[in-house]
Amino acid sequence: MAGKRYIMNAGRTTKQGQQINVGKDHAEYQAIVGTLNMHPDDMKEAGIVSGGTVRVRSDNGEATFLCKEGKIPRGMIFVPYGPPTCRLMGQTTDGTGMPTSKGWEVEVEPIAAE
């Protein structure tokens, strides 16, 4: 990865927790886990429009998300845990049994609308 790196912070939200119990096949769940939040200035700098699609790359894989502005510190991305974050997550546990689920370095690039 050669572009600007952001720290990806995956976590839980109330809506995501509710939707897990409603059903992971619902469109609402897919939308929640497929949407990331960034600082508005970071989005402007990277040329991303609110609601636009972005490709996120980590050392382990890549996934696409919708990108929205959020109350997030600059240089950081927040996204609720879900199948897309599984593709980016660290694959080793450093001997702890627990994968690194937060604080990955990732690249973000906008995908032009077709």
Partner 1 sequence: MTCTLGEVKNRADFIIYWGGNPAECHPRHFTKYTIMQKGKFVPNRKARTMVLVDIRETPSAKASDIFLQITPGKDFEVITTLRALVKGQRVNLDLVAETGLTIEQLQDLVDRMKKARFGVLFFGMGLSMTRGKHMNSAAVLALAAEMNAFTKFVAMPMRGHGNVTGADVVLRYTTGYPFGINMCRGYPRFNPGEFSTVDLLVRGDNDAALILGADPGATMPQPGIDHLARIPTIVLDPKVTHTSRLSRVHITTAATGISAPGTVYRMDEIPLPLRPPLKSPYPSDEEVIRRIHQAVAKRPGWRPTLNGKAMR
Q: Tokens 């994968």 label which residue?
A: 99
CB of 87 to partner 1, least distance (A): 5
Restricting to residues 65-104, name those near partner 1 by CB under 8 A: 71-73, 76, 78, 81-83, 86-87, 89-103
Contact 88, 1 (CB under 8 A): no
Helix (H), strand (E) at residue 5: strand 5-11
CB of 113 to partner 1, least distance (A): 27
Q: Tokens 């939200």 label which residue?
A: 13
Verify binding: residue 47, partner 1, rule CB under 8 A: no
Q: Tokens 């609402």 label which residue?
A: 28
CB of 69 to partner 1, least distance (A): 14
Verify binding: residue 64, partner 1, rule CB under 8 A: no
The burial of 78, by beta-carbon neighbours within 10 Å (0-12 exposed, 13-18 middle, 19 or more buried), is given as buried
Q: Which two tokens stand for residue 50?
A: 């609110």
Verify binding: residue 30, partner 1, rule CB under 8 A: no
Q: Which residues bind partner 1 (CB under 8 A)?
A: 7, 9, 11-14, 17, 23-25, 60-61, 71-73, 76, 78, 81-83, 86-87, 89-103
